[in-house]
Amino acid sequence: MKIKHALLPGLIILSIILGIVLIGNPSRFFVRKNPLPQTVSEKPENIIPPESSKPDVAQKKENNATTSVSNFSGEDIKEYYGPVRHVFFHSLIVYPQMALADTGNTNGYRDNMLTVEQFKQVLQQLYENHFLLIDAKLLYSFNKNGSIRQNKLYLPKDKKPLILSIDDLSYYSYMKNGGFAHKLILENGIVETEILTPKGNKIITDDGDVVPIVDAFIKEHPDFSLNGAKGIIGLTGFEGILGYRTQWRGKQGDVERKNAALVADALKKSGWTFACHSFGHEQNFLKGTASLAFLRSDISLWTSQVQPLVGPTNVFIGPFGQVFTDGEARRKLLIDAGFNILYGVGMDGYIKYFGNYLVMNRIDIDGYRLKHNAKKLYDLFGLSVDANF
């Protein structure tokens, strides 16, 4: 870990105050992410079936839209016809010993997260296996009437497209003793991480989570990204965003929102984009019992509290992979609310272009996958990473 400097000791007082304010149910997020026992063969997020078990490839050559490969000019550029993979991660464990000591949440950490070192191994292996980060928007265009069409994709020869996303980049209160970063901050215009060390000291680092690690990796290996593309950040809002308690009211909340918006702007300028991951990440998404009234309220909270800070988005990342089904009123509500790019979860490579929207499954690369689906990860990506920490 590369330590930049220590923050003022007085901030420890603020941390104590934050802890008091946020006390409630510390396992709120953890319970959502581990609703089923370890014996299931598939993670709970992935038991929600898509409309079809086969990827939709019918529109592969239906239009003449093209993509730009400006940072690979002069290389052998080819139209790409293979699969487009989409992987996602959660926040990274900086101090494994703290994650193991936080016994109430350790199993959740093991299943849903990676350590910093594991993630760095994944990133290096993806690069060595010729994957190339792309902006997901290169895959599609919308006609004036709102219908969607699939673009042709042109890439340097032998490169394989990869979309990357991050879920729940809010640094929830339940994670405060788990060895994670506490928030993203700006240091001289660069997004870095604020971390609490095992000794209780707050430090600023440039490798404390997915965002700064990917930023640094692309700076060192620009041929890992097409035109500077980074990834998609899926945000909830019930405990704020990016480590800032933007849900607070009053003057302190105003300060949190101002600082969060500054970080969000810096992220967008550096190649990151944002998505709605629902406001509350409630269990009823997993159970399939979310009502129209609930969904309408949840989306309204997100658009009123989160969207003003990160800007508008048409991307919805389904909590637990839940994006409902075609023709269902709840999916129609999402589309009518402006979310015409829907991302679920699954290792099946599912992608389908509907009349006016797209559904695509993402593959979670986390402790559970490393332990239970190692062969599949190797077959898809050439990954070989130790599941233990």
- Residue 33 is inside which H or E element, if any? helix 28-33
Report the phi/psi class of residue 164: left, alpha or beta, with left for phi > 0 and alpha for psi in -120 to 50: beta
Q: What is the pLDDT of residues 191-237, one digit of tens each?
A: 999 999 999 999 999 999 999 999 999 999 999 999 999 999 999 99
Residue 81: how many other CB atoms lie within 10 Å: 10
Residue 75 lies in a domain: no
**Residue 61: predicted pLDDT:** 39
d(CA 16, CA 305): 25
Q: Shortest CA distance to 321 belongs to which of 349, 342, 292?
A: 342
Domain membership of residue 77 (yes or no) is no
Confidence band (pLDDT; 50, 70, 90) for 23?
Answer: very low
357 within domain boundaries: yes
In a domain, 71, yes or no: no
Q: Which stretch of DSSP H or E encloses residue 335?
A: helix 329-336
Q: Tell me if the pTM is above 0.75.
A: yes
Q: With both helix axes pointing from N to C terminus, report the angle between 210-220 and 116-128 in degrees, rounded to the nearest 10.
A: 30
pLDDT > 70: percent of the chain: 81
Give domain status of residue 389, yes or no.
no
- Mean residue pLDDT across the chain: 87
- Measured CA to CA, the distance from residue 191 to residue 231 in angstroms comes to 14
In a domain, 184, yes or no: yes
**C-alpha to C-alpha distance for 299 and 278, rounded to whole angstroms:** 6
Name the residue type at position 137.
Answer: K
The domain total for the chain is 1
Q: How far is CA 242 from CA 168, 211, 228, 266, 361, in A?
A: 9, 11, 21, 12, 24
With CA atoms as reference, report the closest residue to 152 among 73, 87, 84. 84
Helical (H) or strand (E) element with 6? strand 3-6
Phi-psi category of residue 209: left, alpha or beta, with phi > 0 → left and psi -120 to 50 → alpha:
beta
Report residue 6 CA to chain centroid gap. 28
State the DSSP H helix or E strand holding residue 133, giving kind and residue range, or none if neither.
strand 131-133
H/E/C letters for each residue in 64-117?
CCCCCCHHHCCCCEEECCCCCEEEEECCCECCHHHHHHCCCCHHHHHHHCCEHH
CATH code for the domain in which residue 179 is found = 3.20.20.370
The pLDDT of residue 4 is 54
* Element holding 363 (H helix, E strand): strand 358-364
Residues β-bridged to residue 85: 162
Residue-wise pLDDT for 344-366, tens only, equals: 999 999 999 999 999 999 999 99
Give the model confidence (pLDDT) of 37-48 as tens digits. 222 234 544 444
pLDDT in tens, 64-98: 444 555 677 667 899 999 999 999 999 999 999 99
Q: Nearest CA to 234 among 285, 191, 182, 276?
A: 276
Q: Which two tokens stand for residue 189?
A: 């215009």
Given a cut of 90, whether residue 381 has pLDDT beyond it is yes
> CA-to-CA distance for 359 and 79, rounded, in angstroms?
22
Task: Identify whether 69 is part of a domain.
Answer: no
Question: How far are the Cα atoms of 12, 251, 289, 309 from residue 8, in angstroms, in the given order?
Answer: 8, 21, 47, 27
pLDDT tens digits, 52-63: 444 443 334 344
Q: How high is the pLDDT of residue 76?
A: 86
Tens-place pLDDT, residues 153-195? 999 999 999 999 999 999 999 999 999 999 999 999 999 999 9
User: Collapsing DSSP states into helix, strand and coil, what is residue 296?
Assistant: helix
CA distance linking residue 115 with residue 180, whole number of Å: 9
For 217, the domain range is: 3-34+42-57+82-139+159-381
Would residue 372 count as lying in a domain? yes
Distance in angstroms (rounded) separating the CA atoms of residues 66 and 30:
42
